[in-house]
A and B are shown apart, each in its own frame.
Chain A
Amino acid sequence: MMRLPKLLSMLVTLLACAFLLVPTLQSVLAGITANYFRGISSGLTLKWVIEVWTLYADSIFLSIWLAITCLAVTLILGVPAAYALARNPGRLSRVLEEFISLPLAIPGLALALALLQLYGSQQGFRAHWSFILVGHVLYTLPFMVRAVQAVLAAIDLKTLEEGAASLGAGPARRFVDIVVPNALPGILAGSLTVVTLSIGEFNLTWMLHTPLLKTLPVGLADSYASMRLEIASAYTLVFFVMIVPLLMAMQWASARAQRILS
C-alpha cells in the first residue's frame, strides 16, 4: 500500500514529461521527414536541414556571436556591479539593485521601442549588430548581477578581503584572487542564464532586427511564416542541436564549481 502514492506521483511526472516532449519530438521528426503530410512513410531525409543551413547559417552565427559578446559585456559590467552592491549594503545599493532589475519588469517590446526612439535615427548604429547587443545586455544583465550577488551575500566577503589585505594584497589583487574565485558558482550560473536567454531572445530582438540581421529565433519565426512546415521543423532541430549541448556543458561546469567550493 505504501507504494501506491509513489507510483501515482511517478505516473503524473511521466505524463507531464510526455505532454512536453511529444510535441517537441514530433516537430523534430517533421524536420527529417520527406513529406510531412504523408508522414514517416514518405521516408527520412536531411534535405530540409541542409536547406535551413544554406538559408539561415548567418542567423546561427549571428546568434552565437551575440551570445558570446553579450556574455562578455554582462561579465565585465555585472560581476563588478554585483561586488560593489555586496560590499556596500545600504539604501542606495537597494535602489540601484531595483534599477538594474527594471528591464525584467518591462516587456521586451517596450524596451526595444525605447531603444529605437532614442538611437533609431543613428543609421550606422541602428543597422549594426551591436544595436541588438545593447538590447540583449539590458535584458540579461540583471540575471548576471543577481546570480553573482546571491553567492557573494552567502560568504563573509568583507573578512576574507581583510584577510587578503593583511597579507599584502591590494584592491585589484583581492578582486582577482579572492572575489572572483569565490563568486565562481554564481558567475557560472549567471553565464548559463545569460547565454541561453540571449540565444533564445525573440521579443526584443524581433523589434530591433533588420532584414540583414536575423538571429536564430527571428529566423525561426521567419521560416514558420514563409517556408514549408518541414523547413521550420528542421530549423527547430538545428536550434536544439545547438542549445542542448551548450546547456549541458554549462550545467556541468556550474555543478563542478559548486562541488569545489562547498
Chain B
Amino acid sequence: MTLSLSSVAKTYGDGTRALNPTDLEINPGEIISLLGPSGCGKTTLLRLIAGLEVPDNGANIRFGDEDVTRLPVEKRNVGMVFQSYALFPNMSVRDNIGYGLKMQRLPRAEIQSRVDEVIALCRLEPYANRAITALSGGQRQRVALARAFAPRPRLMLLDEPLSALDAALRLELRDELAALLRQFGTTVIFVTHDQDEALAIADRVAVMEGGKIRQIGTPEELYRNPQSAFVAEFVGHAMPLSGEIRQQTLCLEGGELPLPDHAGGGSVYVRAEDLRADPTGPLQAKVETVTFLGTHYRLGLTGLTGQRMFALHHGASSPAIGDNLRLSIAPDALICLPHS
C-alpha cells in the first residue's frame, strides 16, 4: 500500500502552526524515519497519518486508493507504538497483544493462533501470561510492537520507540528493532530525534525542521549530500568552514584551501572525521582540548575558523594541548552547499 500525503498541515487551536503544508509519498514496505529536533512537527505528522489529529482543511491523506483524511484512528487499521508504549495495565501480555484482533471480531481460535505467532516472532514466549507491570523496559517495547503488529495493520507508526529506554539498552535494542521491522515487512514510519537511530533503521529519512520536511533521502544521500546547512549540521554534525571565497580558493584564518570544481560559491562544511592531521597539509590550527574516546581521540581546535572545530584523530597517541597542528581535507570530503 502506498501512502500519499498532499498539503497536510496542522494548526492548533491557539494558532500555532505545528506543520506546514507537507507532501509525502511512501512506497509499500518502506521504512521511513521522521528525524528532527523537538518541536519540528515530526510527531504531529505521525499523529496526522495515524488519525489521532485532524489536519487543516485542504489536506489529503491516502492509503493506496482509499481517502482516509476524515477517517478516525479506530477505522484506519494502523499499528501504533507510543513513546510510553501505552500498554493496558489491566490486561496480561497476551490480552494486550490480542486486543486489536478482538476488536476485529475474529473467532477466538484464530485470535489465539495469531497471538501465538506474534509472540513467537517477538520472542515473548516466557512473558506471555505476565502482567504488564512485571516487565522490563525492553520487554514492554517488544509487547508494544507485537500488539501493534498483531492485527495486520496497513501501516506501522512508531513514536520515539527507543527513547523510554536507558542508553545502554537503547543501542542493543536499536538493531533488534531494525531486524524485527524488516521481518514484519509492513510499511513503517517512525519518529526520532536521534540521527544514529534514523540512519541505522530507515530506508529513507525525512529530516524535519520548523514544521517542514527539509530533505528526504536514503541515509547515505543525506549524509554525503545534504542540501541545506540545517541538514548538514543535524545529520552527522558537519561544521561550517566560514571564510572568504576568492576564485576557487577558500581563505580561512588557518590557511587557504583549494575548492573543487563543483563548489557553487555557497557555504562549505566539513565533518570531524574528514579533518585530518597531515604534516604537509595546507591548514593550521591549535589543539585546545583532547578527549580520549577509546577507538580515537577527539581534538578541539582553534585558529582554523572563527569558531571551535573538532577533528577525530586515530593513532596510539594524540597531539598535546597547545600544539600547532597541520591539517588537510580531501577535496571530495568538502560539503559544498548551494547559495541559500
Q: Is A156 in contact with B86, judged by CB distance below 8 angstroms? A: yes
Chain B proximity of A148: nearest CB distance (Å): 15
Known A166-B148, A168-B100, A169-B103; contact A160-B86, beta-carbon cutoff 8 A = yes
Q: What mask results when residues 158 to 192 of chain A are scored 1 for a CB within 8 Å of chain B, else 0?
A: 01101111111110010001100110100000000
Q: What mask results when residues 219 to 262 of chain B are scored 1 for a CB within 8 Å of chain A, else 0?
A: 00000000000000000000000000000000000000000000
Task: Say what secondary structure dominates the interface of chain A.
Answer: helix
Q: What mask results when residues 72 to 92 of chain B are scored 1 for a CB within 8 Å of chain A, else 0?
A: 111101111010101111100
Residue in B78, B89, B99 whose beta carbon sits within 8 Å of that of A261 in the complex: B89
B145: Cβ under 8 A from any A Cβ? no
Contacting residues, chain A, for B88 (C-beta < 8 A): 160, 163-164, 177-178, 182
Contacting residues, chain B, for A260 (C-beta < 8 A): 90
CA distance A261 to B90 in the complex (A): 6
Q: Is A165 in contact with B74, judged by CB distance below 8 angstroms? A: yes
CA distance A163 to B81 in the complex (A): 8
A26: Cβ under 8 A from any B Cβ? no
Q: Is A262 in contact with B148, judged by CB distance below 8 angstroms? A: no
User: Which parts of A178-228 form the interface with B (CB within 8 Å)?
Assistant: 178, 181-182, 184
Residue in B86, B103, B133, B157 whose beta carbon sits within 8 Å of that of A159 in the complex: B86
Q: Is B86 in contact with A262, judged by CB distance below 8 angstroms? A: no
- Interface-centre pick from B50, B86, B100 (highest chain A CB count, 10 A): B86
CA distance A167 to B103 in the complex (A): 7
Known A163-B88, A182-B89; contact A168-B104, beta-carbon cutoff 8 A = yes
Chain A proximity of B52: nearest CB distance (Å): 6
Chain B proximity of A188: nearest CB distance (Å): 14
Q: What mask results when residues 155 to 177 of chain B are scored 1 for a CB within 8 Å of chain A, else 0?
A: 00100000000000000000000
CA distance A117 to B50 in the complex (A): 54
CA distance A167 to B80 in the complex (A): 8
B36: Cβ under 8 A from any A Cβ? no
Q: Is A162 in contact with B103, judged by CB distance below 8 angstroms? A: no
User: Which parts of A211-262 form the interface with B (CB within 8 Å)?
Assistant: 260-262
B147: Cβ under 8 A from any A Cβ? yes
CA distance A217 to B190 in the complex (A): 63
Chain A proximity of B205: nearest CB distance (Å): 24
Chain A proximity of B184: nearest CB distance (Å): 16
Q: Is A164 in contact with B99, judged by CB distance below 8 angstroms? A: yes
Residue in chain B with minimal CB distance to A160: B86
Chain A proximity of B87: nearest CB distance (Å): 8
For the complex, count residues of A whose C-beta is within 8 A of B: 22
Contacting residues, chain B, for A170 (C-beta < 8 A): 74
Contacting residues, chain A, for B157 (C-beta < 8 A): 166
Contacting residues, chain B, for A163 (C-beta < 8 A): 80, 82, 86-88
Q: Is A181 in contact with B90, judged by CB distance below 8 angstroms? A: yes
B151: Cβ under 8 A from any A Cβ? yes
Contacting residues, chain A, for B52 (C-beta < 8 A): 162, 165-166
Q: What mask results when residues 95 to 112 of chain B are scored 1 for a CB within 8 Å of chain A, else 0?
A: 000011001100000000
Chain B proximity of A152: nearest CB distance (Å): 13
Contacting residues, chain A, for B84 (C-beta < 8 A): 156, 159
Residue in B73, B87, B90 whose beta carbon sits within 8 Å of that of A166 in the complex: B73
User: Which parts of A121-178 form the interface with B (CB within 8 Å)?
Assistant: 155-156, 159-160, 162-170, 173, 177-178
Chain A proximity of B114: nearest CB distance (Å): 13
Contacting residues, chain A, for B82 (C-beta < 8 A): 159, 162-163
Contacting residues, chain A, for B133 (C-beta < 8 A): 262
Known A162-B52, A162-B80; contact A168-B86, beta-carbon cutoff 8 A = no
CA distance A181 to B148 in the complex (A): 21
Q: 18 A–B contact pairs at CB < 8 A? A: A160-B88, A162-B52, A162-B82, A163-B86, A164-B88, A164-B99, A166-B80, A166-B148, A167-B148, A168-B77, A168-B103, A168-B104, A168-B151, A169-B74, A173-B103, A177-B88, A177-B99, A184-B90
Taking Cβ atoms with an 8 Å cutoff, the residues of A that contact B are 155-156, 159-160, 162-170, 173, 177-178, 181-182, 184, 260-262
Taking Cβ atoms with an 8 Å cutoff, the residues of B that contact A are 50, 52, 72-75, 77-80, 82, 84, 86-90, 99-100, 103-104, 133, 147-148, 151, 157
Give me 14 other A-B pairs in contact (C-beta within 8 A), A163-B82, A166-B73, A177-B99 excluded.
A156-B86, A159-B84, A159-B86, A162-B52, A162-B80, A163-B86, A165-B72, A167-B148, A168-B77, A169-B99, A170-B74, A182-B89, A182-B90, A262-B133
Closest 7 CB pairs of A and B: A168-B103, A163-B86, A167-B100, A166-B80, A181-B90, A159-B86, A165-B73
